[in-house]
Amino acid sequence: MAYRPPLRDYGFLFRDVLKLDDYSAVPGLADAPVDLVEQVIEAAGDFAAGVLAPLNSTGDKTGCRLDGNTVSTPPGFKDAYDKLVEGGWPAMSVDPQWGGQGLPYVVSVAFMEMSSSANMAFSMYPGLTRGALAALEFGASDDIKTTYLPRMATGEWAGTMNLTEPHCGTDLGMLRTKAVPQADGSYKLSGQKIWISGGEQDLTENIVHLVLARIEGAPAGVKGISLFVVPKFLPKPDGTIGARNTVSCVGLEDKMGIHGNSTCVIHHEASTGWLVGAENGGLKIMFVMMNEARLGVAVQGLSQGEAANQAAADFARDRLQGRSLTGVKNPDGPADPIVAHPDVRRMLMNSRAIIEGGRAFMLWTALNADLARHHPDEAVRSKAADYMGLLTPVLKAYLTDQGFQTASDALQVHGGSGFTEHFPASQYVRDSRITMIYEGTNGVQALDLVGRKLATNGGRAVMSFFAEIDAYTGKDHDAAIKPFVDGAAAAKAQLQEATLWLMQNGMANPDNAGAASTDYLHLFGLTGLA
């Protein structure tokens, strides 16, 4: 059976768990009553299931093609992209000032998940544009904003993120791409960027590269990195596209998954760019894009788990093998469906718990993004921003590690059929694997959590998070849910103990903290989900 958008779960989360209607006095959330949100989500689900999902396997099998320096995306992608733009989906949560619809971020997360479940490779094209737009909105001059944001909001122009170079991935302090100031205020950029997602494609009129580079004479290391906007076509004064810039795709990667998304080697040969923000202040602005993208990648992990689990559940209901341990379930057939076997149910149900809990955790954090941005009370804004900082690495690494594990369990449910290419199971395993690597590897997320986020502002965010859990578990609970609440309280007690251990032992020997960081992040993720 094809992908089915989890509308019921979304309705439950928006209405009963997050209680969106309680925020009707908060700007940014006020115009999004649950009734409207449910309609939007239903239409988003139709788009994902009807337009994007049918192209997922084609994209995987056909991939992208490079001719000269032009990239063709798989058949059907351009048509689907035009429908995405026509439907106004890229502009969903963009500020109306730039032509967006101003819907809450938390609602756009639902769209991101469903479009990524339906077709992760496709959904990366608008996904990166969203991140680039957020960075420009945060740090660019008014001139740059006016030229780029309205076209990026509609999706007519796409955005990319040019960080990685052949010798530098995690350690951006080593980057070498050079920027030379010009008399007219622009810069000429030279250097090579690799693995740039959507670096070249045939979907949009223009491609807006956000490029990290070093201005001649800048200090070494991360202190000397600046951010530039480098469009594929230079905009004319009226905003329409003009001459071709000297930035081009000189290679396309052959890779394990997300074949429908172009992963490009991008060559800057004295390409024209404009500084975004202050000289040497590039990383601070790029972090806006990276944080946005990290949450987007967390959603990708979740999305692949959901789609893979649906496929596995469908398969388990159809595939007949053996008899149930507790008596025949399918007396008219030669065997029972494998869903009757406890070990198959273990895989399916464990995954489902992770997916539904992970979705709730993700949406709760996304709602905090809206509160951090819009709430009139400074104390609420500050607490919500603390949670965003603390939980971004947790969600990125935990939901993607679990997304891959869920996809792997879904393949296991398929048996040998999962390993062959007759079913979609192997594509989910291959596509989900990159989510643990890009936007900062999961190991680096764990270090960010342990080395930076726990200690920020004297541990204010983590203490507030623990207090939030205590407030919930300390309430009177219905007998039916009490065992689960007690479990969550016990998990939180262990997490608190581990936090203390890290604070004591991390100081004494940072290698201890580094060695424990991934296990600690997993404990954090599981507790948050609970």
Angle between helices 425-433 and 378-413 (to 10 degrees): 140
Residues 29 and 108: beta-carbon distance below 8 Å:
no
CB 492: neighbour CB atoms within 10 A? Answer: 21
Q: Which stretch binds ligand FAD (CB under 6 A): 34-42, 73-81, 410-418, 442-450?
A: 442-450
CB closer to ligand FAD out of 213 and 447: 447
Residues 256 and 433: beta-carbon distance below 8 Å:
yes
At residue 197, φ and ψ (nearest 5 deg) are -70, 130
At residue 212, φ and ψ (nearest 5 deg) are -90, 130
Q: Is 438 in the site for ligand FAD (CB under 6 A)?
A: yes
CB closer to ligand FAD out of 170 and 240: 170
Least distance in angstroms from the C-beta of 231 to ligand FAD: 16
CB closer to ligand FAD out of 294 and 341: 294
Least distance in angstroms from the C-beta of 404 to ligand FAD: 14
CB closer to ligand FAD out of 256 and 328: 256
Distance of CA 290 to the CA centre of its chain: 10
Least distance in angstroms from the C-beta of 257 to ligand FAD: 8
Residue type, 477: H
Report the DSSP pairing between strands 206-215 and 178-181.
parallel
What the block records as the tokens of 211 is 């490029």
Q: Pick the binder of ligand FAD from 51, 211, 394, 447 (CB under 6 A).
A: 447
CB closer to ligand FAD out of 148 and 361: 148
Footprint (CB under 6 A) of ligand FAD, residues 376-435: 434
Residues 189 and 178: beta-carbon distance below 8 Å:
yes
Nearest to 399, CA basis, from 360, 452, 450, 430: 360
CB closer to ligand FAD out of 163 and 413: 163
Q: Is 443 in the site for ligand FAD (CB under 6 A)?
A: yes
Least distance in angstroms from the C-beta of 382 to ligand FAD: 30
Least distance in angstroms from the C-beta of 372 to ligand FAD: 25
Q: Is 40 in the site for ligand FAD (CB under 6 A)?
A: no
In whole angstroms, give the CA distance from residue 451 to residue 449. 6
Least distance in angstroms from the C-beta of 167 to ligand FAD: 9
Beta bridge partners of 180: 188
Residues 300 and 120: beta-carbon distance below 8 Å:
yes
Site string for ligand FAD, 495-524 (x = CB under 6 A): ------------------------------
- Catalytic option among 205, 421, 439, 497: 439
Footprint (CB under 6 A) of ligand FAD, residues 154-173: 161-164, 169-170
Nearest to 56, CA basis, from 311, 249, 347, 298: 311
* Residue found by looking up tokens 């921003």 in the block: 385
What the block records as the tokens of 386 is 């603390």
Residues 30 and 22: beta-carbon distance below 8 Å:
no
Beta bridge partners of 53: none
Least distance in angstroms from the C-beta of 13 to ligand FAD: 30
In whole angstroms, give the CA distance from residue 444 to residue 452. 11
Judged on CB neighbours under 10 Å (0-12, 13-18, 19+), 404 is buried
* 106-117 core/surface letters (b: 16 or more CB in 10 A; e: else): bbbbbbbbbbbb
Helix residue ranges, H only, 324-377? 342-374
CB closer to ligand FAD out of 5 and 260: 260
CB closer to ligand FAD out of 4 and 255: 255
Least distance in angstroms from the C-beta of 240 to ligand FAD: 27
Site string for ligand FAD, 186-205 (x = CB under 6 A): ---------xxx--------
Q: Is 439 a catalytic residue?
A: yes
Least distance in angstroms from the C-beta of 294 to ligand FAD: 11
Beta bridge partners of 265: 251
CB closer to ligand FAD out of 103 and 434: 434
Distance of CA 186 to the CA centre of its chain: 32
Count residues binding ligand FAD (CB under 6 A). Answer: 19
Q: Pick the binder of ligand FAD from 55, 444, 461, 488 (CB under 6 A).
A: 444
Least distance in angstroms from the C-beta of 443 to ligand FAD: 3
Site string for ligand FAD, 241-280 (x = CB under 6 A): --------------x-------x-----------------
Site string for ligand FAD, 94-133 (x = CB under 6 A): ----------------------------------------
CB closer to ligand FAD out of 192 and 412: 192
The residue number whose beta carbon is nearest to ligand FAD equals 169
Angle made by CA atoms 498, 502, 508, in degrees to the nearest 5 = 150
In whole angstroms, give the CA distance from residue 173 to residue 163. 11
Distance of CA 39 to the CA centre of its chain: 23
Q: Pick the binder of ligand FAD from 437, 455, 485, 498 (CB under 6 A).
A: 437
| Catalytic positions, written as ranges | 439
Binding residues (CB under 6 A) for ligand FAD: these are 161-164, 169-170, 195-197, 255, 263, 434, 437-438, 440-441, 443-444, 447
